[in-house]
Amino acid sequence: MAEIDLLANYPKTKRNLDERAAGKTEEDRAVGRQFGFDYFDGDRKHGYGGFSYQPRFWQPVIPDFQKHFGLTKDSSVLDVGCGKGFMLHDLRELIPGITVRGVDISEYAIEHAMDDVKGLVSVANATTLPFEDKSYDVVISINTVHNLPLEECKQALREIERVSRGKSFITVDAYHTEEEKERMDKWNLTALTYMSVPKWEQLFKEIGYTGDYFWFIP
């Protein structure tokens, strides 16, 4: 288990947190947490405001995944919270022959997945992954498990641990300081579980998560 930023090459967006906070209501959060059309392709206040494939996002990140995990055409990767399958698409583009699968709680996202991964993605809850023990060489989950209530978040981490063959990487909403917590409070739209870095690390040890991890801090 190690803290490592495997998303260092993911493009960063400058955020106006005060403006975002002023424009977010509990109703907006409730709509976003349905993870349907409104979250992906509806109004920006409910989520992405349009979720379409852009190679500039994941293609710079895949080489870091490849190097860190030693990915080859013989590797298998599961993406928990795959959305429309953009990362899976780029994995297949950059590592031809690799085996990939994805799951997401959003029926809308799976229905609108990229054509070349449609047969590789399915609807599933991270708390009950529909795979046998040790099914995948690597399990990746980006900004997903924190969208669950605490106990379900713990169960999702146990599931990631169960279906991986010892290698995984997650990112979760977190903070180091009270200032960062205030920023997170303003930024957060869908996360139901976010906490300080030490508390996350304590939780990982408590439930037996042994994979790698990093933080989303706006």
Q: 124-141: per-residue pLDDT in tens?
A: 999 999 999 999 999 999
Model confidence pLDDT, tens digit, residues 11-48: 987 766 666 666 678 899 999 999 999 999 999 899 99
Q: Higher confidence at residue 95 or residue 17?
A: 95
Give helix 197-207 / helix 150-163 axis angle, nearest 10°.
60
Band the pLDDT of 107: cuts 50, 70, 90: very high
**Would you state the pLDDT for residue 187?**
86
According to CATH, the superfamily of the domain at 17-43+59-216 is Vaccinia Virus protein VP39 (3.40.50.150)
**Would you state the pLDDT for residue 52?**
96
**Would you state the pLDDT for residue 17?**
66
pTM for the model:
0.94
Q: Higher confidence at residue 185 or residue 204?
A: 204
- CA-to-CA distance for 4 and 187, rounded, in angstroms? 23
